Every structure is written in C-alpha cells, then in structure tokens.
Structure 1
C-alpha cells in the first residue's frame, strides 16, 4: 500500500526531541528519512533514560522508520554530502541554534539555490529572528516562556513541569503542520520550497487558550490552579474512598444536570443559578464540595461506573502499567512491539493520527548508529576507498 508521503525524501539534521519527533511522524506516513548523526556517539537521545544493551529503549520508538547516516557536519566533506543529499530532497529538518547552518554554508539560501523545491523546517528555542534568537533554548525554557510552567502546579507552590518534554513535542507537531502547508504551497505555486520557522516558546504559547486575551481585556493574570480549571465548572480531581482520584468533567449544561442527579443532589441539578457555566463558576466551591462529599464515600471504580452510566465524562489518571494493560489502547493498536538489536522486543506507542485509507506503518526498526551510511554514500557515487578514508578520519 502506498502511504500518503511515499516518495518524499527528508534529511534530518536534528538531535534529541523536537526535530526528530517531526521526522518520525513523516516517516510513519511513508517519507524516506535519512537521519544524520555525529560519528562519535550519535544522537544523544540514544543514551537517555533507561538503557538496554547500550541504547535507550526510547530510541526504538523515536527513530523508527529512519535510516542512519553518520557524518561530521563540521567538516567540508560532511557539508558537501549534505549539499548532495539536498539536491534531491524535499524536506530538510534542523534544530541547531540559529546561524549554525549558515556558518556551515548550509543555510536556507545556500540550499534553496541548488534545490528550489526544498522545504527547510527550522526548530529553535526562540525562532530565526528577534532579539533572543541567539540564546540557547531547550523545551523547558520554551515551556517557561510560553506560559505553561507558570500555570502548572498548586497555588502558592513552585511551578512544576509536565512529566514529559511537552515543549519539544509540541514544536515537532507544529513543524509537521508547517511542512504539510509548505508542501501544499509548493504544489500550487510552481514547485518552490520555503522556510518553516518554529520556535519552542511559540509552540507552547499557541496552546495557552485564554491566557493573553484575559490579560489584555481585564488585566487578569491567570494563576496555577492544581487539578481544577478556573472558570469551567465542574472539572477537577476528586478524592475517593480508596485514596484514589476520579477526574470528573461535568461542565456541559446537560452533563452537569446528569452529574448532580447521579450523586443524589437534585436541588443542585435544578437550581436556575447553576444552569449555565457562568453561574456554576461563581459557585465552584459549593459544587466541588458536593461532588467530593459523594466521591469520598465510594471507591474509584464505583464512581467511574456510575459516571459512565450517567453519561458524565470521567476517568482515572493512567500510569504506564494502566496504559500497557488497557483493552481500549490495545483495540486501537496503540501498543505495538518493536524489535531491539538483540532480538528481544519492547512495547512502543502506536501511530497517530489514524487514517482510514492510508494508515501509517512501521516499515523498519530504529537504526543502529551509522547502519545505512554505506548504502546512502554508495547511492551518491562515493566509492569504497573514499568512504574508508573518511571513516579513518572520523568524518563518517
């Protein structure tokens, strides 16, 4: 089956999370992704978190469907190989600090001159312009500047991070969106590529909902609120009898009524003052207390069963074990197996989004370092003698 991005050639110069996450998605839907890694050690993510046989198990998910080419981009030979690859590429992805690619003669103007159809996705902390462009920026800094860290946590306590590198993956997603739009533009406008400039802080800021409009209109600086969502009522985490928490979102008008009736509070269900969100927001303590009074008398499973019967959105906080054993995850192919180099297997996330006619696929396992170097250089016409010389000099 031909996938939607079959035939697209992608050069990935990024490391760690943001850029590689974008190319992972493109690869899952058919793009041929050549991942360029430094010969010494490769992408640092290979050594992050829990390690099996010398490589992070995260790598099995993060680098699947890609081919690995080792190349020292600081050398003239390495830079020339990128130019040769760029001649026939559709997309180049990089997440170096702004200016690094230009210093190597690999900036957008340089590569666009030899391949006008090339689309370059550039992911950086602060973007390719502006007074902060030269500052180093990781996802944590983007999350802070974008407003997410300030809102995360309990009132009066230090901000906390989301347990994953959400700023990086949000940037990768925005990058994919930008690349898809640039491809569409290229189809419509005579085959010309363009730059896609994605900043980590902007990707986070784009998710901040009413944060800026509320400040602009009312001078309101939104504050951290723990498990609740201020101004949208009821939605919170409610303690149950067995010490676990039920997450209940009864903030639709009809849903709210069903929620209150299901917990035996018809007077709250039928109170005209609470019929819409404006009234409920003004009475959040009263409503949350009523729900808590109910949940603390019942265990979590009983609460969730009741909420499901009443048609009220509710759930529990899943940990890794919950996810791995959940039948819904399994039914939707969201738990897949990948093979590791030693022949053992590891569970990895499935593919998102799900297309009905051309669903994404895993066609190759995550590569070992430099696994496809000779294959790629052979295709460029670089003979074995030169490859051996470059390898001895640490260029590949």
Structure 2
C-alpha cells in the first residue's frame, strides 16, 4: 500500500502533522456483504448477527457498569490505566487521580518528538498519544496525595467509590494512611486492586530503585521467561547476528495484567453484590499474568526438565505454522493437520516441483511427529520461502485459498486501518474529540455485546479538566475554594 506524504503544519509550540484522512476508501455496503453471506449460505445467521451486534446501534443501548464508581491512581505504567479503560468503556464512572504536575506519561512521545503529541484545543497543552489512548471515558482531577488535605479529600472520594485501581510502589499508599487497610474501614464495600510487576510481598517484591522509579514493564517479561523464548536461536541465523532474545514491542505485560485485573474486579464485584456485601483486596502482577499464557512451557519443564528454546516464528508442535517471507512482506500459513499439510504441498508443487520430490524422498515428512524435527522444519520452510520469494501476498493468498488452506498476509498498520472487514464491523473507527480533534482508535472488543455493548465516548482529557465538576459534586467545593486549594498545592 502506498504511503502518501503528509503535509506539515507549523504551530506555535510544535510542528504538528496533519492526521491522515480515514477511510481512504469507504467500507463495503451492507448490500455487498449480504452477497458474501449468500455465497457462503449464511444469509439468515449473518443478518441476525448484524441486527443484534451492529456497532452503530450501541449508543442507544444501556451500559453494563452504569453507576459503578472507580478511582484510578498511579504513574507511568499502563496496567492500571488499561484495566480502568476497559471498565470505563462498559459504563463505569472512572476518575483518574493525578498529582498537580500530572502523570509523567502525558509527556511520553515517540523519539521525544513534540510534533507527535496533540495539543488541547483550549489551552494548547501537549499530550502524548499513549496517554490519550488510555484516558478513554475517564475524568481527570489533580490531587496531591503527599499533603494531609489531599489525603483527606482522597479518603472522601474512596468512601464513595466502588473500586480503586492502584499502581504505586508497594506500601506507598499504606504509608500515607490511604491504602486498602485504612480505606476498607471507611468503606467496607470497597474493591481495591493493586497492579505491579512481581508483587507487593515475597523476597523479590517490587522495589524502588535509587533513581526513584519502581520496576518497569520489561522486568515482568524478563522474570517470566517470555523474553527468553521469544526470538531466534543462533543456529537459525548467520553467526554474530542471531540468537538474542526479543521482548514484545508493546508493553505486553502491562496490558495482560490490566486485562486480568479487570476480570478479577468484575468477579469481586459479582461476589460483593450477590454473596458477601463486602469488598476485598486484589493483587495482580505482570509477570504472573504472563505466566498464565506461556502455553505448555511450565508443564513441559515439570514433565522432564525441558527448557523450551527459542524457535523464532516456527512452532515446535507443528510443521508449517508460521509466517514466511514473500515478495512484498510476509504470509502466515497454517498446516496443523495432515490434510492441510499435504494441501500446502500440492499448492506449492504447482509452481515448485521440488516440494513434491522432497516429500517423496523424505519418508519422515509423511508423519506429523517426525516432520517437526529441526531438519524437517528447515527443509520445509526453505522450499516455502523459495516459492514465496517471487510471489506477493495477494497472489499467495489466492493460490493457498484455492486449496482451502488456512493462510493470510501479515498486515501493516495502515493496511489494518483500511482493511474492508475491519472497517465494516468496525474494528477501527474515528471519534470527534472536543479537545484533540479527529482521532482514529481501536473499537473495544466488548463493543459487540448484544444488550450492553462497550463504547468510547471520548479519548484523552487535559490535566485537571474535571476538577470543578468532581470537587463540587462530591464535596460541595466551589470555584473560590478550589483556587485556594490550588494555591496551597493540594490540587
């Protein structure tokens, strides 16, 4: 896909790139998609799904967590932000509590470039895209938790809250008299979720470094062996250029921990409402959340002390279950059964007869277990790459689908945003934000619920935007008293 040059517009504080128009091409019409249903003999069910899950109808439906109040407190990290975002999308009232100077993540931007930040339309205050993305449906207030007056106001908010999601260093809130032990006495129904890396207790608990910051997300990836088994072994690469482990390009542990935190919180909310009438304390760590999705690695070690090695994109269980380089990118091909594997061979053999000869000459390739050996993987993927090197993704997909093979291209992010299927459902969408203009975002996966779908009402929030409303609503503190508190450094 061609990438059009972007016009540069000079602003007072930064060179701001104009957003790319979206969509470049319109999504398919419902009439066009109806023909697909008809072709696949799924007219009735396809129409039923659309009638009940159509995204544009979600705004007229109720919200599952309407009336639930949540406080979100923490700096830098994404776990608490993501957990709170998921619940905010489901209708909870989420108040993001920041220090008067703001969460440092507001200033996080690729390569430190201010032109990749967005300016508030009213104040011109710059904010990073990461922070804006995780302020979905949230209110922003400022509050200095280091001051007695700030701690008193925080206790007042906690007394009215259903849930607190916190990600400060272990014991930080407790030392100030505003942790779960103290707040649960004020509000016994409070559900309190702390998110971290290794935990608040135990010999390797999260700890503060001499530079004043607590352990960050990559330490979780390192601690659970996720980094160790991600990447290529030395044998697969030219000497000196391979063998190193690779961490995820996104803050994966924080996101997985945030998802697990949201699940824990919803379970605790159900238990409180239906069983006990009381809240509880929850701890979620990034390392443990990742260990829960490490496939069979732990069980394999327990079985015979095996330590799963790095295999790049190759799956140690299956031959032909990986992405392969092709003329214009990469293709994912799945051959997880004998039927599929032989179909892949038949497809490739049309253009590359060597593949058929390979199967005939090597009897081990005829059996699922035997063809997963390293030498068999090397033979298979070498010939697959030879076949794909002069074939683009569209051509390769068409050829593979003729044989009913599980296959698909690896998409770049611009292709994801313009992919007809993703635009139609949609998986990506735009929102007209009152502070930051037109923004493209990923539609929440909870949006496709029949009766209580999630939705994004706004993205981003200037620092302290909701101080007037929240302090008036919960404490009756008007504008004049708020100015006094501001001058004193409390808010």
Scaled by the length of structure 2, what TM-score is found? Answer: 0.76
**Deviations, residues 231-251 of structure 1 (Å, cap 9, x unaligned):** 3222122222x2522121211
Aligned equivalents of 1:237, 1:383: Cα separation in 2: 59
**Deviations, residues 97-140 of structure 1 (Å, cap 9, x unaligned):** 11011011112121111111111110011112211224232111
Q: Is the 8 A contact 2:107 2:127 kept in 1?
A: yes
**Aligned counterpart in structure 1 of residue 415 of structure 2, from 318, 322, 332:** 322
Scaled by the length of structure 1, what TM-score is found? Answer: 0.93
- Report the 3-state secondary structure (helix = DSSP H, G, I; strand = E; otherwise coil) of the residue aligned with 2:384: helix
Question: Which residue of 1 is the match for residue 11 of structure 2?
Answer: none
Distance of aligned partners of 1:193 and 1:249 in 2 relative to their CA distance in 1, 3 Å threshold: same
**Aligned counterpart in structure 2 of residue 115 of structure 1, from 187, 190, 193:** 187
Q: Is the 8 A contact 2:443 2:455 kept in 1?
A: no
For the pair 1:140 / 2:218, whether they are aligned, the reply is yes
Question: Which residue of 1 is the match for residue 50 of structure 2?
Answer: none
Q: Which runs of 4+ in 1 moved over 4 A?
A: 265-276, 340-343
**Aligned counterpart in structure 2 of residue 96 of structure 1, from 153, 163, 168:** 168
Aligned equivalents of 1:340, 1:14: Cα separation in 2: 24
Question: Which residue of 2 is the match for residue 352 of structure 1?
Answer: 445
Aligned equivalents of 1:338, 1:393: Cα separation in 2: 37
Question: Which residue of 1 is the match for residue 380 of structure 2?
Answer: 287
Residues 68-83 of structure 1: matches in 2 within 5 Å?
68-83=140-155
Distance of aligned partners of 1:277 and 1:122 in 2 relative to their CA distance in 1, 3 Å threshold: farther
What value does the CA root-mean-square deviation take over the aligned residues? Answer: 2.1
Q: Is the 8 A contact 2:118 2:436 kept in 1?
A: no
Question: Which residue of 1 is the match for residue 248 of structure 2?
Answer: 162
Q: Is the 8 A contact 1:4 1:29 kept in 2?
A: yes
Distance of aligned partners of 1:371 and 1:142 in 2 relative to their CA distance in 1, 3 Å threshold: same
Question: Which residue of 2 is the match for residue 371 of structure 1?
Answer: 465
For the pair 1:46 / 2:106, whether they are aligned, the reply is yes
**Deviations, residues 269-324 of structure 1 (Å, cap 9, x unaligned):** 89985565323313323332342332234232211112233222222222221122
Point out where structure 2 has 5 or more consecutive residues left out of the alignment: 1-60, 110-115, 120-125, 208-213, 235-242, 350-354
Using the TM superposition, name which of 226-235 and 192-201 deviates more.
Answer: 226-235
Question: Which residue of 1 is the match for residue 37 of structure 2?
Answer: none
Offset of residue 343 of structure 1: 5.6
Point out where structure 1 has 5 or more consecutive residues left out of the alignment: none
Equivalent residue pairs, number? 394
